[in-house]
Every structure is written in structure tokens, then in C-alpha cells.
Amino acid sequence: MASNPVIRGLYQAANSSASCPALVTTLNGNILVNHSDEQGEILFAPAGDYQFGDAVPGLPVELIFADGSRFIPDDSRLRWQQLGHKPGMIEWLERHWSAVLAATLLVPAFMWLMITQVIPAGSNAVAGLLPDAVAQQLGSQSLAIIDRTYMNPSELSDTEQQAISQRWQHLLTTLNIPPENYRLEFRSWSGGPNAMALPDGTVIVTDSIARLMAQQPEQLDAVLLHEIGHVEHKHSLKILSQTTAMSLMFTMMFGDVEGLGEVLLGAGTSFAQASFSRDMESDADQFAFKELQTIGRTPQDFADAMKTLAQHYQPDAELAAGEEKSLFDYLRSHPATAERIAAAEALAKEMLQ
């Protein structure tokens, strides 16, 4: 290797503001720093005894010597190829619009992968690992909140309650579900016929759904099985960990971008949640279908229950497929009811053959 041309710059002392114009000569990876006014040598650094500063667009790459002193070249494009220094990957990316474009395309693809695959899988795994105490705590807390805010003690008579409790017990024993994991609660709710499951296995039945299905108790069984399905699949815990993971992801991804972060967080989380809850409803439906067969009945009970509910909420509505808009509030977050009914009936028919 031959001697390279002289490089002009500034020699900056370590730990003091002293500096002077200097010239650097490189030879076989060794560096010689001289005063620019030919007053002699400042220092000699053998190969390996110095480091390169970070390469930043538009700025020179400094040489950093063992004692902390630095040589800062005047030429801001200098990247020290003559010393075998390779330009950094990051700086290359930062200098090219093509990198900006590629990354711009990569971001939505990456987010799609996270929202549809990674986060659901990850939070399902986490939900499985959470100790039982978490579900208990969450369940009793939600029940307390529900009681304080929008539900009242049941007005059903003891006989009405007992009739349902007996069928409930019967369901649990026939299905070999440990009864101590579950608890049936009755509440009066102005919102109308409904049932809901809490993470600790508490299933709430509203007075109006009990009365609505009093004459068709097998329909209420189907609804209860759907709710048990939610508990067995740990859906509440999954929703909790998915929501936490989603908001954490958006905060981490866009936390630094002011304004934009909040908008994306809101839109992304609600979009993802709508899709989670659709999947969970159909999981709970499948559970109900399967267990109805176990106890010797067919998914037709579930279809009938859905029809009864639909009739109640929207007596005039034609349950035409795809008519999601005309459907009732109660099922707003559920898959189109017509589809669920169709699925149940198709399975019931299959069984008859």
C-alpha cells in the first residue's frame, strides 16, 4: 500500500477545549497527525489504536484516538475508505429515498402481521398462563362494577330462578364440567334479554331473557352453553391481554410521533377488537353446537334461541343474510345473526342425515 494524500482537519484535545489545525497522513492503516503549519508531529496512532466516529449524513467521520482526542476532517464527505473503513449500513439507509420508500411499504405489512397473527397468538398464550387468581379477581371486580352501574337485583320469583338453576346444574353435570368453577347469577337489566359470562365463570342471566325463553328452556340451555364456551375459552382474559398488547404496541410504535399516535391507537385498537370479538363469538357458538350434541340435542336449539332474540329485538326484521344494518343492538358486536343461525341450522341438518 502506498501513502495516501494528506487530509486537512482539526485536532481536538481530549477533555479540554484546546485544538489546532492538523494534517493527517495514513500509511498501511497507521495514522500520523501533524501540525498544519509544519511545526511537527502531534501524534502517531498505529492501526487498531484508533476508532471511527459515527457516520452521519453531511458530517465528517472523526478519528477517535486512545486518549480520547479526536481528528475532525474538514471534508464532510470523508468516510476513510483509505483506512479500510466501510460506510455504515444505517447511514446508507438514511441517505436514500429508496430506503424511505421501502420502509414505508414495510410498515403497514408489519402492522398487519402483528395485528392479525403475532398479537392474537401471543396474548392467547399469555391468557393460558395467567394464574386462576387473576380470573377470580377480574370476575368479582367486573360483577361489582356491573352491580354498581347498570344492573339491579333480579325480580324473578324463587320458582322461576330454581327452574333455571336446576337445568344449569343438570347441564354442568351431564357435560362433566366441575360445578365449583361456575356460578349462575340473575339480574334485572333495562337493556333487555341478554346473558353474559365473566372470566371467573360467573354467568349472568337477565330477567328478560329468562322470561322470554321460559316456555322454551332448551333455547336458554343453548345460550348458557354459548356463555360457558366463553369461559372455557378464557375469552375475557384473551381480550384483556390483546387490548393491553395492542395499546402497548401502538404506544411503542408511534409514541414518539405526536398526535398521529393517538389517532392510530384509537382506530387500530377498535378495528382489531371488532375482529377479535367476531372470532370469539363464533368460537363460543362452536362450543355450544358441540356440547348440544353431547347432551343429545342439536344446534337447532341455538338457531331457535337466536331467532327468538331477533324476534324480540326487531319483530319486523326480515332475517335476510347480509342485512346487518337492520339488526338489533344486542347483536351489534356479534357476527351477522343470520349467518350464525344458518351455521347452526346447517350443522343440525347434517346431523339428521
Partner 1 sequence: MSPTELPVPNTAATSTRTATVEFSGQKGEYAKLWLVNLLLSIITLGIYSAWAKVRNNQYLYGHTQIEGHRFQYLAQPMQILRGRIIAVLVFVAYSLASSFNPALAAVMMLALIALFPWLIIQGLKFTLRKSAYRGVRFSFEASYWAIVGYFFLLPLLGMVTFGLAMPWVAQKTQKYLYENATYGGKPFSVPTSAAEYYKAVLMCLGAVVLLMAAIFVIVFTFSMTSVLIGDASNPLTQKGMAGAGMVIGAAVYFFAIYLLSAIYQGVIRNHLFNCLHINGVFHAHSAIRILPFAVLMMSNALLLICTLGLAFPVTVVRKQRFLAAATSFTLEPGIDHLVNTVPETHSAFGEEAAGLFDADLSLT
Q: Using the rule CB under 8 A, which residue among 54, 132, 279, 329 binds partner 1?
A: 54
Q: Using the rule CB under 8 A, which residue among 121, 145, 260, 274 binds partner 1?
A: 260
Contact 53, 63 (CB under 8 A): yes
Question: From the list partner 1, Zn ion, none, which binds 19 (C-beta under 5 to 8 Å, kind-based)?
Answer: partner 1
Using DSSP's 3-state secondary structure scheme, residue 277 falls into helix
Q: Using the rule CB under 8 A, which residue among 4, 8, 30, 59 binds partner 1?
A: 59
Instruction: Find the shortest distance in angstroms from Cβ 196 to Zn ion.
Output: 8
Name the residue nearer to partner 1 (CB basis): 40 or 178. 40
Instruction: Find the shortest distance in angstroms from Cβ 219 to partner 1.
Output: 35
Name residue, grid cell 322470554: 212
Q: Using the rule CB under 8 A, which residue among 6, 21, 87, 326 binds partner 1?
A: 21
Q: By CB under 8 A, which span of 32-40, 192-200, 219-227, 265-273 interacts with partner 1?
A: 32-40
Cα atoms in the Cβ-side hemisphere of radius 13 Å centred on 101: 3
Beta-carbon contacts of residue 180 (< 8 Å; ≥ 6 apart):
none
Q: Using the rule CB under 8 A, which residue among 63, 151, 228, 249 binds partner 1?
A: 249
Instruction: Find the shortest distance in angstroms from Cβ 334 to Zn ion.
Output: 7
The per-residue b/e assignment along 172-193, b for 16 or more CB within 10 angstroms, e otherwise, is: beeeebeeeebebbbbebeebb
Q: Using the rule CB under 8 A, which residue among 2, 5, 16, 131 binds partner 1?
A: 16
Q: Among residues 301, 275, 279, 304, which one has the least CA distance to residue 290?
A: 301
Q: Using the rule CB under 8 A, which residue among 252, 267, 274, 346 binds partner 1?
A: 252
**How many binding residues for Zn ion (CB under 5 A)?**
2
Distance, in Å, from the CA atom of 303 to the CA atom of 300, rounded to the nearest integer, reads 5
Q: Using the rule CB under 8 A, which residue among 3, 47, 49, 67 binds partner 1?
A: 67
Q: By CB under 8 A, which span of 150-158, 204-212, 254-262, 301-309 interacts with partner 1?
A: 254-262
List, in sequence order, every residue forming a beta bridge with 185; answer none if it has no partner. 204
Q: Which of residues 209-248 bind partner 1 (CB under 8 A)?
A: 240, 244, 248
Q: Which of residues 271-290 bind Zn ion (CB under 5 A)?
A: 281, 284
Using DSSP's 3-state secondary structure scheme, residue 327 falls into coil
Name the residue nearer to Zn ion (CB basis): 247 or 273. 273
Q: Using the rule CB under 8 A, which residue among 126, 146, 177, 253 binds partner 1?
A: 253
Helix 337-352 crosses helix 300-313 at what angle (to 10 degrees)?
150
Name the residue nearer to partner 1 (CB basis): 20 or 351. 20
DSSP tag of 320 = -
Q: By CB under 8 A, which span of 52-60, 185-193, 201-209, 327-335 interacts with partner 1?
A: 52-60
Instruction: Find the shortest distance in angstroms from Cβ 96 to partner 1.
Output: 7
Q: Which helix (H) or strand (E) holds 173?
A: helix 158-174
Cα atoms in the Cβ-side hemisphere of radius 13 Å centred on 303: 16
Q: Which of residues 95-134 bind partner 1 (CB under 8 A)?
A: 95-97, 99-100, 103-104, 106-107, 110, 134
The per-residue b/e assignment along 20-57, b for 16 or more CB within 10 angstroms, e otherwise, is: eebbbebeeeebbbbeeeeeeebbebeeeebeeeebee
Question: Does residue number 144 form part of the binding site for partner 1 (CB under 8 A)?
Answer: no
Torsion of CA 242, 246, 248, 249, to 10 degrees: 130
Distance, in Å, from the CA atom of 250 to the CA atom of 247, rounded to the nearest integer, reads 5
The C-alpha cell at 5 is 494524500
Contact 225, 288 (CB under 8 A): yes
Q: Which residues bind partner 1 (CB under 8 A)?
A: 10-21, 35, 37, 39, 42-43, 54, 56-59, 67, 69-70, 72, 90, 93-97, 99-100, 103-104, 106-107, 110, 134, 137-138, 141, 240, 244, 248-249, 251-260
